[in-house]
Structures are given as structure tokens and as C-alpha cells.
Amino acid sequence: MSTAKKFAGQTAIYGLSTIISRMIYFVLTPIYTRALPLGANGVFTAMYGSASIVNAILAFGMETTYFRYLQKREDNKQQVYNNAFGVVIIISLLFLLFCLLFLDHVINFMQAGVTKDHADYAFFVKNFLVILVADAFCVIPFAKIRADGRPIKYAVIKCTNIIFVVLFNLFFLFGIPFIIAHHLPGAPWMAGWYRPHWVGYVFLANACASVFTIFMLLPEVFRLNLKFDGAMLKDMFLYSWPVLVANISFIINESLDKVMLKQMLPTSIGDHDVAIYGTCAKIAIFLSIFVQAFRLGAEPFFFSHAKNKNSGDTYARIMTYFVIMISIIVVALVANVNILAIILVGKEYREIHHHLVYNNYWSGLGVVPLLLFGYLSLGIYMNLSVWYKLSDQTKYGLYISGIGAILTIVLNWLLIPRYSYMASAWISFLAYFVMMVLSYIWGQRNYPIPYNLKKNVTYIIASIVIVFLSFNVFNRDIFVGNALLIGFASIAFFTERKELVQILKRK
């Protein structure tokens, strides 16, 4: 099988599992918007924004470091696994101990000035600690499965986890009310403690599913031998700490805007605006699915093929087809944004007591194109980042992501009070765009890869023009948007048809 076909096959499997998992969350979103009050959705969005930052700290950059040292120390892969997994376990347990010792302070911070519902936030935080630590324990076992070339096992575990998330959510939000309403066995007991429309059940459902994932990964966990190699561990730390800082900076770019919205806007509108922004942002989830699937397949692939003679040409070819696919997906999402919005939050106008009432969620659709092109820039940056990971110059990842994080923090701090979530959307796009450009410039100086810059930029500019026409000029008209999509995809296929045929013919 050709290198490109093998990469595409593995990425497709990772993509399928990611699509299924993200689609489930996409399906859950309208359930949340209908089963929970608007403010509760804002609490949910803000809490997860905070948690994603902690996830990066607990993983300590060891996922990328694990892949790199498997390639550098092929003679002692077990010790690489021991070191990486052991570090994550120790950091996670120290984090858990710290949070338990200062639990009240953590709860007060997450309340963000809300004086009521302290007990509720205590419940949210405790469940989040379970989610964070359980997810951290799974990082290196999942990385081992990817490194061993077992994408099907990875997909099965991920999809099973999501099934449990859905089942627990449905049970808590709808199953228990059904049992109570129909006086089924256990109804009197449940009626004594159940709280309708309470966001706490969402956290509880996710905590249960995260713990269950650890049990599914026990075969990988039991392969751990808590025996450290001091010299190797020191080298891995030197490699990983810039990756850690870069990952934290990335999470800041991705999630801190939602936290800052809640912290900086008046309490009366904070949860409201966070809910609108976070919910509309989920329309861009399909593009993030593609980016995530690419990363899952690309990182172990790039490391394992680094010693190949034509690795640079392979990376460049992958970049070109990545840009083509991601540009087409951006155009497709914008062309059908109204349909996605209806599925996600309902129609733009709802009839209530014979009057049409505007659906406030639709006011946030303007963030979608900005976030999509931000994800496009992020995906290209992830592709470009191979240069500093393979050349052991991870400090550049720190510099690039740090610049992006500074832009995110400073500009959000300056602009959120005036422009709310629209400022956050523009800043997200700007930060990822700057990171992409810096990575390309520094990469070509330090680890040149023959990317087809002219072709890649042409596809990106074409997608920007089409999105502008579809969203702004033709006012999101579904027929015009999809006509533009078909034309764009047809031209791309016609232009690339010869090379696609050659790739498919290779064995």
C-alpha cells in the first residue's frame, strides 16, 4: 500500500470515530438547548472552557513526546511508555490533591461572582475533577494504540465512550422524569431528590462515561511498569515542556474567550452571551472534526516516516490535499449554515401564543465564518508544526503558540466589554492566522519542506471569496450557496484528477 493511501486509510478511521463522537455531541446540543435554561448552557460552556486548559497541563505534552521518543529510542519502547504514562499519572494525582485541599477557592472562582447556588457549583467542580483526572489517565494509553497502528481499537473505545455519554444524559434528563411521571418502580425515591432541568446531570453523565473509558483501556494500563529511566526522562522533559506551554497556549486560543466572556461581561448577560457564542460555535464543529481526525492520524504518521528519503515530498503532498479538503468543507458548512442552525437551536422565529418570537441563538451566526477560517488556519498550522517536532526545536512551538495566546488574552480583554462574542470570534481567527504564518516562515528557514504555496493559497482565497458571497451577498441562501459549493468542488476535482488517479493506482 502506498504511503499516501495508508495515511488516508488510518485518518479515515480516526475521522469516522471523531465524526461519530462529535455528531453525538451535536445531537446533544439541541437536547441541552431545550431541556436546560439558556443560563445553564452558558455555565456548561464556561466550565468546559476552563477544563480544557487543565487537560493540557495534566497531559504535560507527553503525547507528542511519546511519539517522538518512540522514533528516537526504538530499542526501548517500553521504557518510553513507562516514562510518559508515569509522568501523567503523578501530575494528575498531585493536581487532584491540590484541588481537594483548596476546593472552596476553586468553587468560588468557577462561580465568577454568582452569590447563589454554591452547592450546585460544588457538585459541578467535583464531577469535573473526576472527568479531568480520568481523561488524563487515558492520554498515553490512547497514544500507544495510535502508535501501534490500531485505529480500529481506538475508534471502538472512543465510540463506546460516547454511547455511554448519551445514555447517561438521556437517562438523567428524560428517563428519570419519565419514570416519575408514569409512577414506574423507583419513582417515589427518584422524586425525592430529582431536579428537573438541572445542568448538574450533564456533568454527572460525562463523569460516569470518563471513568468507564479507563476500564476499557485496562489492557494498555496494565502494560505500565512504574520504573523510570532518569536520563531518558530528563531528555523527555526538555522536549515536552515547550510542547506543554504550546498546548496551553493553544487551549487559551480555543477556550479562554468563553471564560473571559463570562468573567468580563455583566452577570445579567454573561451566561446569555456565552450560551449564544458557545452554541453557534458548534456549527463549526464539523471542521474541527476534520482537523482533529487529521491530527490523530498525522502525528504518529509523520514521526514514523521522518527517516524516509522522500518524507518532505510526502508531507507537502499531504498538506496540499488537506488544504483542498478543508477549504471545501468550509464552503459546504457556510452554504448550509441555516439548516445546521435549525437542527441545532430551532427555527429563527418561533410561534408563541400566536406571535412570532425571534430565536436569540440566531443572532450569533455571524461568528460561524470567522471560526471556520480560524479552524482552517489551525489545521494548516498543525500540519506545518511537523518541522519543529521532527527537528527537536519544540521551543518554536512555544514561541508561536505564546504569541497566539498573548493576542487572544490582550485583544479579548480590550474588546469584549464593547463587542462581546463577535470580538472573540474575530480574535480567534486572527490568532490562528498569525500562528499559521509564523510557523510557515520559521519552518522554511529551519526545516524546509517543499510545500506548494501558490496552489494552497489559491484554494484558500477562493474559499474566502465564495464564503463571503454565500453568507453576506446572497444572505445564506441555501440554493445559491450549494451551487457555489458544487462549482468549487468540481473545479478542484478536475484540477487534481491526474494526481488522484496516480495515488489510487499505487500499491
Sequential pLDDT tens for the chain (507 residues):
455 666 666 677 776 776 676 666 666 766 676 666 655 556 666 677 667 778 888 988 898 899 889 888 878 889 999 999 999 999 999 999 999 898 888 887 776 555 456 777 888 888 889 999 999 999 999 999 988 888 888 888 988 888 888 888 888 888 888 899 888 888 888 888 888 878 788 889 889 999 999 999 999 999 988 888 888 989 998 888 888 888 777 777 777 787 788 778 877 676 778 888 888 888 887 787 778 777 777 777 788 777 777 888 888 988 998 999 999 999 999 999 989 888 877 777 776 666 767 777 788 888 999 999 999 999 999 889 889 988 888 889 889 988 998 999 999 999 988 888 899 999 999 999 999 999 999 999 999 999 999 999 999 999 999 999 999 999 899 999 999 999 999 999 988 887 766 665 555
Amino acid identity at 337: V
Bridge partners of 349? 358
Q: How far apart are the first and last CA of the chain?
A: 4
Alpha-carbon gap, residue 249 to 382, rounded angstroms: 14
Q: Which residues contact 284 (CB under 8 A, 6 or more apart)?
A: 333, 368, 371, 372, 375
**Largest alpha-carbon pair distance within the chain?**
73
pLDDT of residue 391: 87
DSSP bridge partners of 356 = 351
pLDDT for 6: 64
Q: What is the pLDDT of residue 502?
A: 67
- In the numeric block, which cell numbers belong to residue 438? 509564523
pLDDT value for 1:
47
Give the start-to-end residue ranges of the domains of the chain.
Answer: 3-505
pTM (2 decimals)? 0.76
Given this model, what pLDDT does residue 492 score?
A: 92
What per-residue confidence (pLDDT) applies to 44?
65
For residue 210, the model assigns a pLDDT of: 92
> Taking the CA of residue 507 as centre, how many other CA atoms within 13 Å lie in the half-sphere pointing to its CB?
0
List, as one string, the DSSP characters of 163-223.
Answer: HHHHHHHHIIIIIHHHHHHTT-TTHHHHHTT--TT-THHHHHHHHHHHHHHHHHTHHHHTT
